[in-house]
Amino acid sequence: MSSATESQQARVIAELRVFIKKVLADPTIAVKSMEIARKLKDEQDADRKIAEQISAQTNVRIPEKLSEADRIFLEIINDVLDDEAALY
């Protein structure tokens, strides 16, 4: 594995650690994020809209230019939505 790849992975892990700390400190973040995602999931450019609303309504800041950790977070939200849909 190259040094650049390792460095990028370290940045992603560090960013995800900060995010997980925020969620554990304020469990309403997860609930609010999923409420937002459920509401916007079927809209065009849903991920961007979900990211904007999460940034506006929680203490999680997702910049316009998504980092790899931001993409992972949005992918996980979509996975949870898919799992919910499969239950019904």
Q: What is the pTM of this model?
A: 0.85
List the end-to-end C-alpha distance of the chain, in Å, as a whole number: 42
Q: What is the band of 1 on the pLDDT scale with cuts at 50, 70, 90? A: low
The pLDDT, as a whole number, for residue 73 is: 93
pLDDT value for 87: 74
User: Per residue in 20-53, pLDDT tens?
Assistant: 999 999 989 999 999 999 999 999 999 999 999 9
State the total domains in the chain. 1
Q: Is 77 exposed, middle or buried (0-12, 13-18, 19+ CB in 10 A)?
A: buried
Q: Are 36 and 81 in contact (CB under 8 A)?
A: no
Domain that holds residue 11: 3-87
